[in-house]
A = this chain, B = another copy of it.
Amino acid sequence: MNFLSDNNFDKIHVLLKDNPYYIYIGSGILTEIPVFLKDSYNYPHYVIVTDDIVRHLLGEDLKKILDESGVNADIINFSNGETSKNLQTVETLARDMVRLRADRKSCIIALGGGVVGDVAGFLASIYMRGIPFIQIPTTLLAQVDSSVGGKTGVDIPEGKNLIGTFYQPKAVFIDIGVLGTLPVSQIKNGIAEVVKYGVIKSPELFELLENYSEQIFNLNPDIITRIVKKSCEIKADIVIKDEKEGDLRRILNFGHTLGHAIESLSNYDIQHGEAISIGMSLIGKISEKMGKTNPQLSEKLSNLINKLGLTTLIPSNINTNDIINSIKSDKKSQSGKIFFILMQAIGEVLISDMVPENLIIEAIEELRG
């Protein structure tokens, strides 16, 4: 059996100049991985890097499948959660790798959500100055967002993702079958990003979300596959044209500058998906106030967000001034300028660094809970 010619799985070719790779999407892909590794790469040694929770849920099973197929694989893990996303974790993992005699021909398999992808990808990019890695995102958020784009990184006390690299995987395997293990809040985190893709690039995707919200939360494989695939295609298309965060890639930050500020000011009590939803709603309002879009569109966006069980309202304990100060110190602000992605139509956005502060404040006040 040749994995690459197998028709059961969707695939996307991410045609980056120096590092082209495929994203495979489907239900049950995890069990087919040994065949793929043998057919396509045949690295002499694999190290599955995961967290303690995913190790228990999926990691040990994956290692067993690899063992049984005669693929030489080890598994290492760190503690689940954003607090592990630091250089100490990376150093501990690197030391584990040396003890497992991982060398430049070893390949890392990043198995987990966004934190695992960021940490394991960063580790791959700096271990012996870079070794190959394969990504298996296991949350909807990681599947539609962090598995495409090559961003890796860890946090420092001064801020999130302030240390990292751009580093592309050799392949990404998206098994939508694993989403069944996730709580609804995790599905919502991913769906908020899918809304974003709809707004920035695809009226069809936006409509799909409007029409199939029930099927989405029932994890209907057909609908989930369609939205994951479309999301990855949109992101891949943008990343191919702009691998290292130039202007084009900025549109992926739709709703994120304000969303991240709110997420951070809540001390991460507010989930990523909720924070991004609020951020997008704010941008809808701001776009309206700047005359870039009409009120129906902003309302259409808010309606979809609410229909998907997400929120558009800012909690009262988050201060308006704090939000303003936080966006001014965002790492993407270059030499003082803050770039906002404004909405023109569903599927159409524009970049502006000329949003008046008073309009942001007005929008925040209008979206108080």
A residues near B (Cβ < 8 Å) are: 44-45, 87-88, 90-91, 94-95, 98-99, 103-105, 122, 125-130, 151-153, 156-159, 161-166, 244-245, 331, 333-335
Contact = CB atoms under 8 A, between A and B. Distances in A.
Contacts of A105: 334-335
Given A87-B88, A103-B335, A129-B161, 16 more contacts: A44-B335, A90-B163, A91-B156, A91-B163, A95-B156, A95-B157, A103-B331, A103-B334, A105-B334, A126-B126, A127-B162, A128-B164, A129-B164, A129-B244, A130-B165, A130-B166
Contacts of A104: 331, 334
Contacts of A90: 87, 163
* Total copies of this chain within the assembly: 2
B127 A163 contact: yes
Contact of A162 (B88, B98, B163, B245): B98
A18 to B, nearest CB: 8
Contacts of A335: 44-45, 103, 105
A88 B334 CA distance: 27
Contacts of A127: 162-163
A359 to B, nearest CB: 24
Nearest to A98: B158
A159 B95 CA distance: 9
Contacts of A334: 103-105
A285 B247 CA distance: 58
Contacts of A122: 126
20 contacts: A45-B335, A87-B87, A87-B90, A90-B163, A91-B156, A94-B158, A95-B156, A95-B157, A98-B162, A103-B334, A104-B331, A126-B164, A126-B165, A127-B162, A129-B153, A129-B161, A129-B165, A129-B166, A130-B165, A130-B166
Contacts of A99: 158
Nearest to A331: B128
Contacts of A103: 331, 333-335
Nearest to A159: B98
A147 to B, nearest CB: 17
B158 A95 contact: yes
A165 B162 contact: no
Contact of A94 (B94, B126, B162, B244): B162
A249 to B, nearest CB: 12
Name which of A45, A103, A244 has the most chain B CB atoms within 10 A of its CB: A103
Nearest to A88: B87
Most buried by B among A90, A105, A128: A128
Most-contacted residue by chain B among A129, A130, A164, A166 (CB, 10 A) = A129
Nearest to A123: B163
B91 A87 contact: yes
A288 B175 CA distance: 58
A125 to B, nearest CB: 7
A300 to B, nearest CB: 35
A98 B128 contact: no
A88 B245 CA distance: 27
A333 to B, nearest CB: 7
> Quick one: which of A94, A95, A163, A331 has the most chain B CB within 10 A?
A163
